[in-house]
Amino acid sequence: MANPTEDLRLTVTGMTCSHCEARVEKALLARPGVSHAKADHQHNACSVTFDPDAISAAELAQAVRDAGYVASV
């Protein structure tokens, strides 16, 4: 049976360019359970697909904060 996945949209501020987007995406994809991350600096957002049994929304936001940006669920 496949692991369940959830989609989440994080509000991320502090991104100013595509390099920032890549940094946020890399930080999220490095976490266990994250299968997709797509950041958008123009909309201050990041869409994440993840396994809620492996990582929580709060942990995803913390991963973005650890990368140097402000994030909220």
Q: Is residue 1 part of a domain?
A: no
How high is the mean pLDDT in each 10-residue block of the chain (73 residues)? 85 98 98 98 98 97 98 95
Q: Quick check: is 68 in a domain? A: yes
Q: What is residue 2's predicted lDDT score, i.e. its pLDDT?
A: 61
- Residues, the chain, total? 73
- The stretches of the chain forming alpha helices (DSSP H) are 18-29, 57-66
Task: Look up the pTM and report it.
Answer: 0.93
Domain membership flag for residue 33? yes
The phi and psi torsions of 7 (rounded to 5 degrees) equal -110, 135
- 56: Cβ–Cβ under 8 A, 6 or more apart, which residues? none
State the pLDDT at residue 7.
97
Does residue 50 form part of some domain? yes
Q: Which of 50, 53, 37 is nearest to 64 (CA)?
A: 37
Residue 25 lies in a domain: yes
In a domain, 52, yes or no: yes
Q: Is residue 32 part of a domain?
A: yes
CB 9 within 8 Å of CB 72 = no
